[in-house]
Amino acid sequence: MAHKISIDHFEARAVFRGLLDGDDYRNRVAGACVYRCPRCDHRIRFRWRSFYQARDRSIFRRTLRRIFDELTPSLAADEQGCLDFRCPTCAAPTRIIFSACASAKVAVRFELYAALVGEGKPTP
């Protein structure tokens, strides 16, 4: 019998601090932002280059990656990316969904959309 995996959807503002809002963008990463795991409250600091380096890479095994792929909404943006990782404290599988848009000729800006978070190990 297959193990059922429970994955919850969290809007970016619910799990991130340090995001910018503006007239023509929402939830932009300006240098760095802090993710708070909704399962255990562990905090992780992400710099903008974390999103740049994570595009098209996943640490999840194929089965788990497919489950996350099915739950990942498509964004109407220039480019969509995902950053997959496990929380260092509770090991909850997590996917951050973001858009990467080129501005000017060299700069890339990242705007966070949501986080998909699976079940983690119980913490003491």
Would you say residue 1 lies in a domain? no
Question: Domain containing 67: what range?
Answer: 7-118
DSSP 31-97: EEEEEE-TTT--EEEEEHHHHHHHTT---S-HHHHHHHHHHPPPPSSS-EEEEEEE-TTT--EEEEE
pTM listed for this prediction: 0.87
Predicted confidence at residue 5, as pLDDT, reads: 79
Would you say residue 62 lies in a domain? yes
- Read off the tokens for 87: 């929380």
Predicted confidence at residue 76, as pLDDT, reads: 67
Would you say residue 123 lies in a domain? no
Predicted confidence at residue 110, as pLDDT, reads: 87
Predicted confidence at residue 45, as pLDDT, reads: 96
CA distance 58 to 72: 14
How many domains is the chain partitioned into structurally? 1
Would you say residue 100 lies in a domain? yes
Q: Which residues of the chain have pLDDT under 70?
A: 1-4, 55-56, 76-78, 102-107, 123-124
CA distance 94 to 16: 13
